[in-house]
């Protein structure tokens, strides 16, 4: 059985749609959004972000134990999440607690995990 082609066999551009979307992209910040996905492309950081959807706030020491890394490594990953605005922290004495920056970040992680469960179920 021949494979179905997964591309257009003729060129047909809907200029109205193209211009509308190009203008919308010019208004947004796709480079900044891609940075969010880039930082979340690391398995350890995804585990950390997911852990922070389960518990609103975790100490760096707890995060290190959850993901099985050193405190220094966990701190490095948390700092990357914080630098991109995905996480925030507060210091209490000698302890540092991290949480997700807002509900948008939490929803992004939850939707990604829900999607993966759905894909795995359909396989």
| Cα→Cα distances 90→15, 42, 61, 96, Å | 50, 24, 14, 6
Tell me the mean pLDDT in the region 82-110: 96
| Cα→Cα distances 4→8, 9, 10, 12, 122, Å | 11, 11, 15, 19, 21
Residue 70: CB atoms within 10 Å = 9
Average pLDDT, the chain: 94
pLDDT of residue 122: 82
What is the topology classification, in CATH, of domain 29-122?
Arc Repressor Mutant, subunit A (1.10.10)
pLDDT range class, residue 1, cuts 50, 70, 90:
low
Tell me the mean pLDDT in the region 39-55: 96
pLDDT range class, residue 7, cuts 50, 70, 90:
confident
């Amino acid at each position: 059985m021949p494979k179905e082609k997964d591309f257009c066999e003729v060129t047909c551009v809907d200029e109205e749609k193209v211009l509308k979307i190009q203008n919308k992209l010019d208004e947004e910040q796709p480079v900044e959004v891609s940075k969010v996905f880039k930082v979340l492309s690391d398995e350890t950081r995804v585990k950390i972000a997911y852990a922070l959807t389960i518990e609103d706030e975790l100490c760096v020491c707890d995060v290190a134990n959850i993901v099985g890394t050193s405190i220094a490594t966990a701190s490095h990953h948390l700092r990357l999440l914080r630098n991109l605005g995905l996480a925030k922290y507060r210091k209490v004495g000698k302890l540092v607690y991290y949480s997700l920056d807002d509900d948008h970040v939490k929803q992004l992680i939850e939707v990604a995990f829900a999607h993966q469960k759905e894909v795995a179920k359909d396989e």
